Every structure is written in structure tokens, then in C-alpha cells.
Amino acid sequence: MSTLISEPESSAREFARSHARPADHAGHTDDFRGASPSGHAVYADALVRHYNGNRAVDHVDLRIPAGEIYGFLGPNGAGKSTTVRMLCTLLAPTGGRALVAGYDVARQPGQVRLRIGVALQEAALDPRQTGYELLSLQGRLYGLSGKALARRLTELGELIDLGDALDRQIGTYSGGMQRRLDLAAALVHNPQVLFLDEPTTGLDPASRARAWSEIRRLNEQLGTTIFLTTQYLEEADELAHRVGVIDHGRIVAEGTPAELKRSVGTDVIVARVAGDARAARFRVEAVPGVLSVEAHGDELVIATADGAGAISPVAVALADSKMTVRDLTLRTPTLDDVFLELTGTHIERKSPEEDPS
Ligand code: ADP
């Protein structure tokens, strides 16, 4: 294991400070955008990390092509951050192997660091610095100066849209503004692969939507490969081209959000009726294509392979049962349904809309 890998875990800012770089690298764009010779921006083979004998990451394999947004979805404690820290060279793997932008994280950490940007959960920002000072410092650490630095700062200022706030002390920023500044700092050297560790945890819905559009723009306009950890289902669903679902250190499913949801196999029709829903149960069960019916109070939850095709016959069956239907909705499976089917538990929901507390 290389001694260049710092342990214990270090912050993204320390990471940049620890790494001076050749001046010709910053601002560089090429068509390669972080592909390894095998064509993968991130490649991991049986990656393992133990903490005191406990396996936080347990034989994780990753094959992420350049240009992809990969969502790494799992509940708290699943092993997301530990995986990211290993891929970013901030934590040594206990076993296995990983290549990022074509370089081995354990044997060539310097090469990896030149090509990646990292925004970890806790942005370790100095509240007395201005945003502009932080970005200038970061740019100089990556070898930019003079006009090239000024140009890059202008570009980044536009990207994160902080406007005049860049001249204010970071201590006056909202949580969302701090995240955006941290993201800009991670982008100073135009990285090929960007690691975002729970980029929107704790943000209000408006800031979250804004972060999503910035992430999308980075990927679409610059071709940046993005490895995004999240515990928010909608975030993975909205942003990721492909999602890896991790639980207890193991990847339990992987695919596009649509593929994963299809793997659950059913659409769900939910009917709310006036009165006891059990009275309609048998007629609804007899509808062709209906797989199962559960009745709870005034609600019937109907699983079917073809929701669009079954919804009208279900409505007819309810009418035949002399039921007054209050509402009838067709729901496709969510990534939470996928997680539930795979693990028997829900992914903890803590997004601002879902958890007003
Ligand atoms: P996630 O990012 O998905 O919430 P983590 O990678 O932080 O999960 O943690 C995975 C597991 O490793 C958890 O059981 C956590 O308690 C444990 N863990 C994480 N960091 C440490 C550490 N520094 N020392 C000991 N155990 C740790």
C-alpha cells in the first residue's frame, strides 16, 4: 500500500493542499475524460475495507464508463462513504483493487488525484475566507495563476451562480451556498471524474433542485464522469444513468433506474373507497392481470403486471361491488420498492420534504 495514502481520513481540502500539480493540467480538456484503457472511468475489483475486523465494504465491483452519472444508493452505514474515500485515495483498501481515470488508487494515488474532484459531505470551509479567496487558493494549489486563474474563477463563478456573494466571507453563506462553493472548489482543475458524497443532504428543496441541475450540466457540457453517493431515492432516480444499490457493504443490485424498477415487476393501483375496502376485494381479485390485492381500511392496494391495462377493469369491478370510489391512482414501483424487495427494509427517508422535522 502506498504511503501517499493518508490515514486517518482526510478532508477534500487537505487532499487538494497535499497535492501540487503541473501547471499545464488545470483547465485541460480532452476527449478522454477519465477513461481507463479498459474504457472505465472507475473500475473496482473485489474492493474491501475493514474497520477493526468489521467489513464496511465487502467485495465491491464497479465498472463505470467515462461520461456516466453513477448513483451509489444505500441507507446510512451501508458503506458508501468508505467506498468513495478509497476511490479518492483518502483511505487505503484492505483488499481488492480500484482504478480511477485509468490509475491504481493504491499504487498511483498522485495520478488519480490530478484527475479527480472531490466534494465530501462536510465541506471544511474557513468561515473568515471569502468565496473568491478560497477558489483562488484552490486554483493556485493546482498551478493556475494570472489570466488563466482569473478566467477559471469567472467560469466557476458563472457555473455556481454565486454572484457578488463570492466577495463575502463564507461565514455569511447559507448551507446551499456553501455546498455550491465547495463544488466549485472541487472543479477548479476541471477533473475528469467528480466524486460527490451526499451532495444534497441537509439542503432545502430549492437548493437541492439547483444542485441537481448543476450536476446535470457538468455532466452534459463537460462530459465529467460523476460518482454520486446518496440516500435519497429521488436523487438517484432523477440524476443517475445507472444506480448501484449498496447494503451492508455489498452491491445488491445495479442497473438503470428503469431497469431496477422493472425488476420489481409490477405496477400498483391504489383505490380509496367509501367504507370497508374488503367488500370489493374478491371482485377485484378476479380481474384478469391482477396479481394480488391487499385491503387496509378504506384502501385497496392492487398489484398488476400492466397497470395501464388493468385500471379500467378494476374501476368496473369496484362499481360492480357497489363501492363509491374516492380516488384511483396508478403508481409505478419506486427505487424504495426495489430496495424493500432486495433487503426487506426501507431506505431511510430523510429528505426535507419527507421529514419536516
Ligand atoms: P455510509 O456512507 O453508507 O453511511 P460508511 O461508509 O460511513 O456508510 O460506513 C460503513 C460502515 O463502516 C458503518 O458500519 C460504519 O459504522 C463503519 N465505519 C465507517 N467509518 C468508520 C471508522 N472510521 N471506524 C470504524 N468504523 C467505521
pLDDT in tens, 171-209: 999 888 888 888 888 888 889 999 998 888 877 888 888
Whose C-alpha lies nearest to ligand 1, atom 13? 77
Whose C-alpha lies nearest to ligand 1, atom 5? 79
Say what the pLDDT of residue 282 is: 92
Q: What is the pLDDT of residues 113-149, one digit of tens each?
A: 999 999 887 667 889 999 999 999 989 988 899 999 9
- Could you write out the three-class secondary structure of 27-81? CCCCCCCCCCCCCEEEEEEEEEEEECCEEEEEEEEEEEECCCEEEEECCCCCCHH
Question: Domain end: 256, 280, 296, which one?
Answer: 256
Q: Please give the grid coordinates belonging to residue 62.
A: 464497479
Say what the pLDDT of residue 116 is: 95
Mutate which of 82, 195, 227 for ligand 1 pocket (most atoms within 8 A of beta carbon): 82
Q: Please give the grid coordinates belonging to residue 169.
A: 466571507
Whether 178 and 124 have beta carbons less than 8 Å apart is answered as: no
Q: Are residues 185 and 105 in the same domain?
A: yes
Q: Are residues 72 and 188 in the same domain?
A: yes
Here the CATH number for the domain that contains residue 307 is 3.30.70.2470
| Among 96, 109, 107, 68, CA closest to 193 | 68
Half-sphere exposure of 209 (CA within 13 A, CB side): 3
Mutate which of 51, 201, 347 for ligand 1 pocket (most atoms within 8 A of beta carbon): 51
Q: Are residues 251 and 279 in the same domain?
A: no
Q: Are residues 40 and 120 in the same domain?
A: yes
Q: Please give the grid coordinates belonging to residue 220.
A: 452534459
Mutate which of 81, 87, 195 for ligand 1 pocket (most atoms within 8 A of beta carbon): 81
Whose C-alpha lies nearest to ligand 1, atom 10? 79
Q: Which domain holds residue 323?
A: 266-332
Residues with CB under 6 A from ligand 1: 51, 56, 74, 76-82
Question: Domain end: 228, 256, 284, which one?
Answer: 256
Amino acid at site 94: T
Q: Are residues 229 and 159 in the same domain?
A: yes
C-alpha span between 291 and 3 (Å, rounded): 58
Q: Please tell me what DSSP assigns to residue 267.
A: E
C-alpha span between 128 and 168 (Å, rounded): 9
Q: Is residue 347 part of a domain?
A: no
C-alpha span between 336 and 349 (Å, rounded): 10
Q: What is the pLDDT of residues 288-343, one digit of tens each?
A: 988 888 888 898 888 888 888 999 999 999 999 888 999 999 988 778 777 776 77
Q: Is residue 119 part of a domain?
A: yes
Amino acid at site 234: E
Task: Give 112 or 356, the one with higher predicted confidence.
Answer: 112
**Which residue, chain included where needed, has cell 397497470?**
307
Report the atom number in ligand 1 closest to the C-alpha of 81. Answer: 2
Q: How many domains does the chain have?
A: 2
Q: Measured in angstroms, how far is the CA atom of residue 11 from the centroid of ligand 1?
A: 16
Query: What kind and span of H or E run contains 229?
Result: strand 225-230
Q: Is residue 2 part of a domain?
A: no
Q: Are residues 156 and 298 in the same domain?
A: no
**Which residue, chain included where needed, has cell 466557476?**
156
C-alpha span between 8 and 17 (Å, rounded): 16
Q: Are residues 220 and 294 in the same domain?
A: no
DSSP 156-190: HHHHHT-GGGGGSBGGGS-HHHHHHHHHHHHHTT-
Q: Are residues 221 and 151 in the same domain?
A: yes
Query: Would you call 328 helix, strand, or coil by DSSP?
Result: strand
Query: What kind and span of H or E run contains 315?
Result: helix 307-320
Mean pLDDT of 233-245: 92
Here the CATH number for the domain that contains residue 190 is 3.40.50.300
Whose C-alpha lies nearest to ligand 1, atom 16? 77
Cβ burial, residue 220 (10 Å; 0-12/13-18/19+): exposed
Report the atom number in ligand 1 closest to the C-alpha of 79. Answer: 6
Q: Measured in angstroms, how far is the CA atom of residue 86 from the centroid of ligand 1?
A: 12
Across the chain, mean pLDDT equals 83
**Which residue, chain included where needed, has cell 499545464?**
24
Report the atom number in ligand 1 closest to the C-alpha of 57. Answer: 10
pTM metric for this prediction: 0.76
